[in-house]
Amino acid sequence: MPSAKKIHIVGAPGSGKTELAARLSSRLGIPSYSLETLLWTREGKRKRRNTPAERQRMLLDIIGQDSWIVEGNLMEWLLPSFALADQIIFLTPSPYVRDGRMLQRFLRQKIGTDPDNERLSLIGLLDRLYWNHRFERESKPAIMRIAEPYKHKLVVTRQVE
């Protein structure tokens, strides 16, 4: 991967996308972006959802750069970034490993040691845990179908070293 300057990391919640993106960004000196942050704009203490056109414009601004790392698997954005990526990394740890990571993060957020701005409610956590297991049946096969034309630059791994 030393020659990769454009990297897209996908995976379910708790798969390690953000952590891997941060490590690669630091090691390679490439800016990292979470697709999740393109969904929302802060207006004071309130958040509003960006329009599809706003999100698309922000994504195209990012992937139009000479180098980038994006992490996330919002389906409508995979095609443009997959097409331009030098490397696509699909993190696929077991759903139970991901459950444990999400529970740990939730607890760190509750005691204030996690820097994440989003503070999940218990209902939000349960929703993510439910979605985590649906990911195996629904999103994972869909991502693999979308990635098929790019399999020459796709790395699927269960574990981040």
pLDDT tens track, the chain, 161 positions: 557 899 999 999 899 999 999 999 999 999 999 988 888 887 777 788 889 899 989 999 999 999 999 998 877 778 899 999 999 999 999 999 999 999 998 998 888 887 665 677 889 899 989 989 999 999 999 999 999 999 999 999 987 66
Q: What is the model's pLDDT at position 108?
A: 87
42, 24 Cβ separation under 8 angstroms: no
Q: How many CB atoms lie within 10 A of CB 11?
A: 26
- φ/ψ (deg, to 5) at 126: -60, -40
Q: How far apart are CA 147 and CA 73, in angstroms?
A: 11
User: What's the confidence (pLDDT) of residue 41?
Assistant: 82
Instruction: List, in order, residues 6 or more apart from 64 with CB less than 8 Å away.
Output: none
CA distance 140 to 137: 7
Alpha-carbon distance of 110 to 114, in angstroms, equals 8
Would you give the DSSP letter of residue 50?
A: P
CA distance 32 to 24: 8
Alpha helices in the chain (DSSP H): 17-28, 36-39, 52-63, 78-84, 95-111, 122-137, 139-147
Which three-class secondary structure state does DSSP give residue 116? coil
Interstrand relation of 154-157 and 87-91 (parallel, antiparallel or unpaired): parallel
- Tell me the sheet residues that pair with 8: 70, 88
